[in-house]
Amino acid sequence: LKSNPSNNEEKEAQTQLTKSDELQRLHSQALSAYQQEDYETAISLLDEILAVCVWDAELRELRAECYIKEGEPGKAISDLKAAAKLKNDNTEAFYKISRIYYQLGDHELSLSEVRECLKLDQDHKQCFSLYKQVKKLNKQIESAEEFIREGRYEDAISKYETVMKTEPEVPVYSTRAKERICHCLSKNQQATEAIKLCTEVLQLEPTNVNALKDRAEAYLLEDMYEE
């Protein structure tokens, strides 16, 4: 403005200055809400700021943290993906995306994101350790599915039992493994065991279609037509 004063520009400059003060105020409120663990308020304040500061990677990472705390992993991933593009060599964002996918049971996407992190920094400790875990689990699941396609149900069962030992901390993998073991037992005409295991899965996930179908097949083997 000092270099080129004119009424129009002065008005515009004043508006923008007021806006930037307002955004800074919102920013400190958002940080304070985040520190007080009021993530819902933090998200709505960050929404306002990001509507203007679209390209701010740090703010997106902060909002992603809030989404994680609020149990909205899908929204966290979308913010972290944007942050990974906006900031060069953002290994942290790739690591977090990979972890979220892993917790959600999507081991294949988790593997591809953690690889992106290692492309940027092959010595990244957290990424390398996660990579080893996901790669091992991924390989076991692929191998178990291969056995199922070949009709080698005993081998598939034993491989899925290994999967449960490899990842005992994230429940989704145990549930999926049990669901697939139930499928193998049913195909292998081991009806009683199949019914027992499918029932376990259905107690955790009452609408699991695969477990319902496999248990139905097992009931047929036992002539339990009503069930």
- pLDDT of 132-165, one tens digit each? 999 999 999 999 999 999 999 999 999 999 999 9
For residue 165, being part of any structural domain is answered with yes
pLDDT mean over 118-144 = 96
- Summarize the chain as % helix, strand, coil (round to 5): 80, 0, 20
Is residue 179 within 8 Å of residue 211, measured between CB atoms? yes
For residue 216, being part of any structural domain is answered with yes
Helix residue ranges, H only, 1-124: 7-35, 39-52, 57-69, 73-86, 91-104, 107-120
With bands split at pLDDT 50, 70 and 90, how would you rate the model's confidence at 63? Answer: very high
∠ at Cα 110 (135, 92), nearest 5°?
A: 110
Q: Is the pLDDT of residue 175 over 90?
A: yes
For residue 105, being part of any structural domain is answered with no
For residue 130, being part of any structural domain is answered with no
- pLDDT value at residue 156: 98
For residue 126, being part of any structural domain is answered with no
For residue 191, being part of any structural domain is answered with yes
Axis crossing angle, helix 171-187 with helix 209-221, rounded to the nearest 10: 30
DSSP for residue 38: -
With bands split at pLDDT 50, 70 and 90, how would you rate the model's confidence at 8? Answer: confident
For residue 131, being part of any structural domain is answered with no
For tokens 């005409």, what's the residue? 189
Is residue 110 within 8 Å of residue 141, measured between CB atoms? no
* Longest CA span, the chain: 91
With bands split at pLDDT 50, 70 and 90, how would you rate the model's confidence at 130? Answer: very high
For residue 66, being part of any structural domain is answered with no
| Mean pLDDT of the residues in the chain | 95
| Number of folded domains that form the chain | 1
**Residue among 88, 50, 89, 86 at smallest CA distance from 66:** 50
Domain ranges, residue 186: 151-226
- What is the C-alpha to C-alpha distance for residues 181 and 160, in angstroms, rounded to an integer? 7
- What is the C-alpha to C-alpha distance for residues 25 and 129, in angstroms, rounded to an integer? 40
pTM of the model: 0.87
∠ at Cα 66 (65, 72), nearest 5°?
A: 95
For tokens 């179908």, what's the residue? 213
- pLDDT value at residue 143: 98
**Residue 215's domain is classified under what CATH number?**
1.25.40.10
